[in-house]
A and B are shown apart, each in its own frame.
Chain A
Amino acid sequence: MTPLLNKFSFTEKKDTRSGFGAGLSELGKSNPNVVALCADLTGSLKMDAFQKAHPERFFQVGIAEANMMGIAAGLTIGGKIPFTGTFANFSTGRVYDQIRQSIAYSHKNVKICASHAGLTLGEDGATHQILEDIGLMKMLPGMVVINPCDYNQTKAATLAIAAHHGPVYLRFGRPAVGNFTPADQKFEIGKAVHLNEGKDVTIIATGHLVWKAIEAADALEKKGISVDLINIHTIKPLDTDAILKSVTKTKCVVTAEEHQMNGGLGDSVTQFLSRSLPVPQEYVAVNDSFGESGTPDELMVKYGLDAANIIQAAEKVIKRK
């Protein structure tokens, strides 16, 4: 058996937000209808290159996120494809009603692009560390919710959502993480990436937890536990075929995400499996708590989102079979 970590080696660490910035720049060149808006966080969102190359298609709205969402909705009328950029907290909770009425209910072709999601925002603390955004956004009818795992996947997702007609929430983050997705891997909205074939336990991870799940699976395989590993970049629509296929083999599942247990990926997986193939499930997620200041690594350990927690959850869920 090839050790998993060898299979997914990477040469450099890069932030997912830079993957977004690179994707947006490419779209600027390839699609004249793509426009971008930012609420005073151009540098943080890595939108500078687009702004510089296409000043006539870039709109700095200032610290006024509600207005930004409304303007984005209006820009679609006449065929533009607006990409909004701000932190995940200000992209969702702060402007939920604007998104709900002017974008989701009105079915506008707006791409809500959100950086600094989750605990890995780090030192800024809980005011900025939104852990509820996936839940908020997946509850909106018709909203696509995507949480890619590394630079290459975020770039590919950015390109893919421009080609999809309808509202999309694209969530990414601040820290540099291993960039292991092949640059030429096709990104298909709603299609999971099967990372490893296994038979004892299914691990379904999203976003920054995918790499941690690879580390966990590697350790589990060394202990003789065979892991079926799925990278779910699209939380809505969920790739239920991939989940069912895997769980049919393994009969148990661990979900892992940088989000509240309530309303996250784990919830979506439970909702599906409870109606099609109920099996024991363990959750690696934040358990009804706000975050706090600290380094990203410290926070992931303190709030139970590390590889060790995935290993523990896997061993526990196997025993429950």
Chain B
Amino acid sequence: MDNLKDLELLCTQVRRDIVRMVHAVSSGHPGGSLGCVEYFVALYKSVLKYDASKFSMDGKGEDLFFLSNGHISPVYYSVLSRSGFFPVKELNTFRKLNTRLQGHPTTHEGLPGIRIASGSLGQGMSVAIGAAITKKLNNDSGIIFSLHGDGELQEGQIWEAAMYAAANKIDNYIATIDYNGRQIDGDVDNVLSLGNLKAKFEAFGWTTLEIENGNNLEAVIKGLNNAKIYLGKGKPIVILMRTEMGMGVDYMMGTHKWHGSAPNDEQLQKALAQLPETVGDY
């Protein structure tokens, strides 16, 4: 693991990448991306086992990650590029014609690091379960990770998958829920309340863990490593990770407004003033 201080500096840089990327094309989803920076940095810089220089679709012998809520592609692309999957300068092609960095992640353009298209919500848990089964069939000890939005849990397929994973003891798999309480139309509680989410996952038969502050890098690293203790015990694992949508940019926090809106020139400057360049802009 890189030094924690260095990784925190990287988190700031990733946040700069995110706001610059969405500003450049006046579109994209900064809010959830900013809220999940610590998760991605923790995963790719500390927890996940992989070799970015030898990316293959099959990923044999490696840990695999699946992003189910594909709209937070800016944070995914930024961290993938800063983990060696593709050149950092390619971030400036995000959402532009002929780019490999499509609005939502895809395998179609052959971007290293991506193993499934996502964007239409609710599908990633099923895919992750399939990959986890193949790991078992191949006697491959790699772990499967996935990330889901909390609003995304309103999709029925998630609960089909949740039922399957418990009934079939998919215990080489750690799902994480970005529990920020907001979705594009407003607060999750107002749009369609998830009720007691912890009780729901427990009732579905999952080992249900929590990360109280998903924007504290150390807490996320500890939380993910702690979850690994529960692998191989006959139950799938889910982490309810509390985050703040828009984290790091004051005016994007405390609201759902920046779920799917990009800052204008003036707003970008205001955001960048709060996010100093640390390891170098793309």
Contacts and interface: CB of A to CB of B under 8 A. Distances in A.
Interface of A: 35, 56-57, 59, 61-62, 64, 66-80, 82, 97-98, 100-102, 105-108
Given A64-B163, A101-B120, A35 B137 contact: yes
Candidate in B124, B140, B157 with the most chain A CB atoms within 10 angstroms: B157
Nearest to A70: B126
B26 interface: no
B131 interface: yes
A71 B59 contact: no
Contact of A70 (B107, B127, B137): B127
B58 A70 contact: no
A75 B122 CA distance: 17
A105 B106 contact: yes
Contacts of B134: 74-80
Interface stretch (B81-89, B111-119, B233-241): B111-119
Contacts of B118: 101
A66 B168 CA distance: 17
Given A64-B160, A67-B160, A107-B107, A78 B140 contact: yes
Interface in B93-135: 106-108, 115-120, 122-135
B64 interface: yes
Given A102-B116, A102-B123, 15 more contacts: A57-B137, A59-B133, A64-B160, A67-B157, A70-B125, A71-B126, A74-B66, A78-B131, A78-B135, A98-B123, A102-B127, A105-B108, A106-B117, A107-B108, A108-B116
B3 interface: no
B123 A78 contact: no
A36 to B, nearest CB: 12
A100 B106 CA distance: 12
Given A67-B126, A71-B130, A101 B157 contact: no
B56 to A, nearest CB: 10
A67 B125 CA distance: 8
A71 B123 contact: no
B169 interface: no
Given A75-B133, A78-B58, A105-B108, A70 B138 contact: no
B60 interface: yes
Interface of B: 57-60, 64, 66, 106-108, 115-120, 122-135, 137-138, 140, 156-157, 160-161, 163-164, 168
B228 to A, nearest CB: 20
Contacts of A106: 106-108, 116-117
Contacts of A56: 137
A75 B125 CA distance: 12
A165 to B, nearest CB: 12
A100 to B, nearest CB: 8
12 contacts: A62-B163, A67-B129, A70-B129, A71-B133, A74-B133, A75-B130, A75-B133, A79-B58, A101-B117, A101-B118, A105-B107, A108-B116
Contacts of A108: 116
A69 to B, nearest CB: 7
B161 A67 contact: yes
B164 A62 contact: yes
A96 to B, nearest CB: 10
Contact of B59 (A59, A66, A69, A78): A78
Contacts of A102: 116-117, 123, 126-127
A77 B137 contact: no
Nearest to B124: A70
Nearest to B146: A74
Contacts of B135: 78
A59 B164 CA distance: 10
A73 B131 CA distance: 8
Contact of A74 (B60, B119, B127, B168): B127
Q: Which of B60, B108, B130, B133 has the most CB of A within 10 A?
A: B130
B132 to A, nearest CB: 7
A64 B129 CA distance: 14
Contacts of B64: 77
Closest 10 CB pairs of A and B: A74-B130, A70-B126, A78-B134, A67-B160, A64-B160, A71-B130, A74-B127, A74-B131, A75-B130, A66-B157
Given A78-B59, A78-B60, A98 B157 contact: yes
A105 B129 CA distance: 19
Contacts of A59: 133, 168
Contacts of A98: 123, 126, 157
Contacts of A80: 134, 137
A66 B161 CA distance: 9
Contacts of A82: 130
A70 B118 CA distance: 11
Contacts of A77: 57-59, 64, 115-116, 127, 130-131, 134
A73 B59 contact: no
A82 B127 CA distance: 12
A204 to B, nearest CB: 33
Contacts of B168: 59
A101 B129 contact: no
A66 B129 CA distance: 13
Contact of A71 (B106, B119, B129): B129
A72 B130 contact: yes
B127 A66 contact: no
Contact of A61 (B117, B123, B164): B164
